[in-house]
Amino acid sequence: MKFFRRPPAQDASPHPKLFGQLFFAALIVGAAIIGAATGLILVYSTDLPQIEQLEQYRPSSITELFDSQGRVVGSFALQRRVIAAYEEYPQVLRDALISIEDKDFYRHWGINIWRIAGAAFRDLESGGKVQGASTLTMQLARNLFLSPDRSFHRKIQEVLLAVQMERRFTKQQIFTMYANQIYLGHGVYGFEAAVEFYFSKPARQLTLEEAALLACLPKSPSYYSPINHPDRALRRRNLVINAMLEDGKLTAAVAADARNKPIRLKLQRGPDSLAPYFVEELRRYLESKYGSDQVHEGGLRVYTSLDMDMQAAANQAVLDGLAAYERRHGWKGHLENVLAENAPLADYQHPDWEEGPRLNGYVHALVTSVSAGHAALKVGRLDAILDQLDAAWTQRKLAEIVKPGDIVYVKLLSLPASGPAHVSLEQDSGAQGALVAIDNSTGEIKAMVGGRDPDESKFNRATQALRQVGSSFKPYVYTAAVDRGATPDDTILDAPVTFQTASGPYTPHNYDEKFEGTITLRRALAQSRNIPALKLAESMGIKTVIDYAHRFGITSNLPAYLPVALGAAEVTLLEQTSAYSVFPNDGVRVMPRYITKVADYDGRVLEETYPEVKDVVSARTARVMTSMLREVVLHGTATAAASMHYPLAGKTGTTNNFTDAWFVGFSPTLTAGVWIGYDQKKSLGPKETGARGALPIWMDFMKTALAGKDPGDFQPTPEVPAAPIVQKVDTADVAPGSDETH
């Protein structure tokens, strides 16, 4: 029998080994990918910051300074940011931001896979790096923890952090952190601060078109700046509105109406610009006590003594007074010209223009064209017209004194809603002015002007400049006499006298080169006679007078020679003004102060100040001196102030060659001092006395500061028995010095 081998049966599916091998290979590749991915995640996550840090999230925030009425008067910050809660951001802003930046914000888990894949594909096609497609959470992670470089490494870390953040925080918390953290141009961080900067109002008052404008900024704050590039900002804003329409956040009619509206900004004028010298004094103090980091990043709340209304009045009074001085001394010219430096007119920018224009403000302007009757000017984005009438004080034709390209100093007389502004021609020859105002009862500094323009000079002439005080020193001489028994009706001889000094004879004179003979002390002070003041000082001893000045709070060095009685001593305006407050305070000196309270970010009080007082002279002496200084206003060198119909007193001061002009005076509630002069101690010009240069500034300020308030009244002068004054003039060790008279 023959056997045959049966052929093997064939498998139902071909090549089983091949499929098994492929499957095995796929498992290996998958495992390798997963391993590689895991490895990459481990590598990129080793140096990731701890997300738990956000539990105590508190970004760098502004230290704000408040005036006595709770109004913001200044701030310090590395990043200008105002922290706001989720509820404080209106729905229209949240809708605008999510529509343009992250449509799926409330649905995704930190990343949007499809957007990332699409962006990556486009980048691969273009040969670029992975970028774009970031969710709000990813943007927040980048802003908080990562560098701005666009690398694959950073992108992976951004994704990992975003996922962690989504697991730990709610969408509202993430949105709030994002809205407070993001940079929005011009030094502004966070949407609350941006709304204040661009529109001068809180975020809750945003309109649709304003919210859409802000929502376009995170993409590129500089490129879409509505200030520098309004055309780009407008196009991007309308793109945001269209995105909101696509998402069903708007109706077609509402969207069309919003797109047709122009960009309207109301830029916030920096609060520091109102009282820059005062704010700078505070900065130095706060940094020395709390450190720079705490001051600029810690979000302190500093409650100051300043009154913004008084400060505004002080600013205006000083600038108007300096303008009046400049006009009295004629046009000097010497204008800078842009064209002479080969700079195009269209590109010119002046530091003054960084602040918005202010009615009655003084700014520098660029002359763009000149005709027979007027000149066209540019003040930032504002056009202005200067007419011949508003330059008449120069006594020259306008075309003779200005030409295209000149930088001129002007006062903004009108700011119409449309059309050019109206200005007057002014002049800045370098004359400076300073003013300090102090509340008598508390010592609080209510206003401080340290110079004409802080952009040109940070030097504070109210606190740092030591200047000869002229006859405003004489009240210390008379105080010493009254405190030792003299009365205002005692008499003294105003006649020629020569003092023998170690350096030779010293023969002083009066301002008018005349002598009045026997006069009362009251008249001698009111008329600022020099000879009586010197005789009184010599009879008591100049060291006695200096001791009284120090008791009043004068800390500057006062050399012990007789001309100091006439003001041949250098004192700061703040010292002199604070010292004068002793008179209306019944002989008590209240130390001047800038701050009432400082609190930290969480509201804990770090320091709180109270009036610090010191007895200087008796109430009787202070009241007698107040009555004598009142006579200066009623019948003396400051009679111009008698027209104000307030109880006022004070003293003028003028130094040799008219280099310094002073007036320091007070009401029952407020003491203010004014100084004008040049930094170089050159002459202000003939007849530029304290009564002419400083007193009008003081009057303008006090009219506003006291308006609508109860001025009170000075305490009645006590009846005191007369006491003789020794008029003997012995040889003294004195030296020649100031012989000013007013």
Contact 583, 669 (CB under 8 A): no
Residue from 623, 642, 646 nearest 633 by CA: 642
Distances (CA, A) of 518 to 97, 229, 521, 524, 529: 84, 75, 10, 10, 12
Q: How far is it, in rounded angstroms, from Cα 182 to Cα 287? A: 27
Contact 147, 168 (CB under 8 A): no
- Residue range 513-529, pLDDT digits in tens: 999 999 999 999 999 99
Show the tokens assigned to 457.
């000079």
Name the pLDDT band for 62 (thresholds 50, 70, 90): confident
Q: How far is it, in rounded angstroms, from Cα 234 to Cα 241? A: 11
pLDDT number for residue 354: 76
pLDDT number for residue 131: 40
How far apart are the two ends of the chain, measured CA to CA in Å? 155
DSSP letter assigned to residue 387:
E
CATH number of 89-272: 1.10.3810.10
Residue from 307, 288, 581, 555 nearest 280 by CA: 288
HEC profile of 284-295: HHHHHHHCHHHH
Q: E-assigned strands of 176-239? A: 188-189
Name the pLDDT band for 448 (thresholds 50, 70, 90): very high
Helix ranges (H only) for 375-467 are 398-401
Q: How far is it, in rounded angstroms, from Cα 158 to Cα 612? A: 56
Query: Which range is least confidently modeled, 351-355, 389-393, 394-398, 444-448?
Result: 351-355
- Residue range 103-161, pLDDT digits in tens: 888 888 777 666 655 555 555 554 544 445 688 888 888 877 655 555 555 567 778 88
Show the tokens assigned to 260.
């047709």
Question: In this prediction, what percent of the chain has a pLDDT beyond 90?
Answer: 64
Chain mean pLDDT for the chain: 86
Q: How far is it, in rounded angstroms, from Cα 490 to Cα 582? A: 23
How many helices (H) and strands (E) the chain has is answered by 22, 25
- Residue range 343-370, pLDDT digits in tens: 788 888 888 887 778 899 999 999 999 9
Distances (CA, A) of 134 to 75, 140, 143, 633: 33, 10, 12, 72
DSSP 729-741: -------------
| Burial class of residue 617 (count of CB atoms within 10 Å of its CB; 0-12, 13-18, 19+) | buried
Name the pLDDT band for 637 (thresholds 50, 70, 90): very high
Query: Which range is least confidently modeled, 48-62, 387-401, 643-657?
Result: 48-62
- Residue range 177-225, pLDDT digits in tens: 999 989 999 888 999 999 999 998 999 999 999 999 999 999 999 999 9
Q: How far is it, in rounded angstroms, from Cα 542 to Cα 433? A: 30
Residue from 161, 156, 166 nearest 141 by CA: 161
pLDDT number for residue 43: 43
Contact 304, 67 (CB under 8 A): yes
Find residue 369's DSSP bridge partners.
Answer: 376
448 or 35, greater pLDDT? 448
β-pair type (63-66, 301-304): parallel
Query: Hey, which residues are catalytic here?
Result: 101, 471
